[in-house]
Structure 1
Amino acid sequence: MLKSALQIPATFDESGVLLPDMPDFDLAQTLDCGQAFRWEEQMDGSFIGIAHKKRCRISREGDAVRLWGISRASFEQVWHPYFDLGRDYAALKRRFSSDPALARAVEYAPGIRVLRQEPWEALCSFIISQNNHVKRIKGIVSRFCELLGEPAEGGGFAFPSPEAVASCSPADLAPLRAGFRARYLVDAAQKVVSGQVDLEACCSLPLPEARAMLTRITGVGVKVADCALLYGCGRVECFPIDVWMRRVMELLYPDGLPDCARGYEGIAQQYLFHYARTTGLGTV
């Protein structure tokens, strides 16, 4: 197993947090690559988003990354794990680059990180993502938060709690314009609140058991379950297969991913997915 880069140099002042040397963290590649839907790029190239009931503005300054208005406690408790700053992505990329196709995908977008989102938010986001495109997903998620979310620290709205959604009917979610997905969101919330689905347990259960638990939810198949496990539960060994990844596997890996991806299949998938989606597979 790879060692984690647990000690991320950081300085704290009245403006927030400065990470002085972050070559393996590109904001657009990470925040606008289809893994999270609450980040918006600003005219100055910074991104504003909300996670864990907190609002954050993050920007790139040369080799450094700055998180504006963030306290030391908030950074350590929320944003350090959210941006997966305890993982050595440089070592991972060296490992992946032993495979020629993965090497090209890594070279194409070397600043990708896999976010550690709240399990409930990741589950709902990928329920909403079904048969949908990113712009529309973002719109539905935004309306969802405005309709049922509590005010977030720093402005905007937090992601709605399972309890808030469980008390609704699908008709109550009509303002989201989510179509058939409204029924799935309500069913997910009711099963989480009742304990039929234990999202915390999904973070540590054997992968087949965690997947089976999530697929108890109406409308949640293996792909949505795997996305929730990867992006919400930190299960980096989980490998979601959508139309793009199916093409990648058929074209490049008919016998499965190379050994260099073992244990980190979900992170390898993110590099391959981003390359395939933005280039149409190109020369991978």
Structure 2
Amino acid sequence: MTWNKLICNIRELQLVGTLSGGQSFRWTHNKENDEWIGVYSKTVWKLRENVDGLQYQVIGSLLNNTKSQSKSKNKKVNVDFKKLLEDYFRLDTNLGIYYKEWSAKDELFEKACQQFYGIRMLRQEPVENLFSFICSQNNHISR
């Protein structure tokens, strides 16, 4: 299976901080090959970072086939998986602009953003967002 590219600034997207930060519980990190596997938008993904940005594989998707309303036959649908990932990670938002503004106002943030760069709020499906929020309420420091 080939890897697809989603070109973005590596300072604009950090998978470890974004996917393991408690927003979503659908992603697993394979430390041996530094890849992430998870589910988003009825699709199983494999992700990894490289110098150009993000590489991804679509392992399987329910979006490729839909049932036609007039017939019970499956119909192939072209899905823009790259666009789905761009939307999920909100890559249309330039973090660099916000980081400069926030750093000018907060000395602690200015230091922290050097290490914690590219952490993004995910655009999750509403039900997943609700369940993630409910589950995160049970997480605490002692746990």
Q: Which has the higher contact order (CA 8 A, sep 6+)?
A: 2
CA contact (8 A) 1:46 1:58 kept: yes
2:115 paired with 1:108: yes
Aligned residue in 2 for 1:120: 127
CA–CA distance in structure 1, aligned partners of residues 79 and 11 of structure 2: 22
CA–CA distance in structure 1, aligned partners of residues 111 and 85 of structure 2: 29
Q: Which amino acid counterpart does residue 132 of structure 2 have in structure 1? A: S
Q: Specify which of 36, 61, 72 is matched with residue 24 of structure 2.
A: 36
CA contact (8 A) 1:97 1:103 kept: yes
Q: Specify which of 27, 41, 48 is matched with residue 59 of structure 1.
A: 48
CA–CA distance in structure 2, aligned partners of residues 63 and 74 of structure 1: 18
Gaps in structure 1 of 5+ consecutive residues: 1-13, 137-284
Gaps in structure 2 of 5+ consecutive residues: 60-77
The Cα offsets for residues 99-156 of structure 1, whole Å up to 9 and x where unpaired, read as: 212212212301211111111111012112222369x9xxxxxxxxxxxxxxxxxxxx
CA–CA distance in structure 2, aligned partners of residues 69 and 52 of structure 1: 11
2:39 paired with 1:50: yes
Q: Specify which of 84, 91, 99 is matched with residue 90 of structure 2.
A: 84
SS of match in other structure, 2:128: helix
CA–CA distance in structure 2, aligned partners of residues 128 and 20 of structure 1: 31
The Cα offsets for residues 186-216 of structure 1, whole Å up to 9 and x where unpaired, read as: xxxxxxxxxxxxxxxxxxxxxxxxxxxxxxx
- Taking only the aligned residue pairs, the percentage that are identical comes to 32
CA contact (8 A) 1:96 1:102 kept: yes
CA–CA distance in structure 2, aligned partners of residues 117 and 84 of structure 1: 10
Structure 1 runs, 4 residues or longer, greater than 6 Å off: none
SS of match in other structure, 2:80: helix
Q: What TM-score, normalized by structure 1, do the two folds share? A: 0.39
SS of match in other structure, 1:56: strand
CA contact (8 A) 1:18 1:66 kept: yes
SS of match in other structure, 1:117: coil
**Pair 1:18–1:48, CA change in 2 (3 A):** same
CA–CA distance in structure 2, aligned partners of residues 26 and 63 of structure 1: 13
SS of match in other structure, 2:54: strand
Q: What TM-score, normalized by structure 2, do the two folds share? A: 0.73
| Larger relative strand fraction | 2
The Cα offsets for residues 247-268 of structure 1, whole Å up to 9 and x where unpaired, read as: xxxxxxxxxxxxxxxxxxxxxx
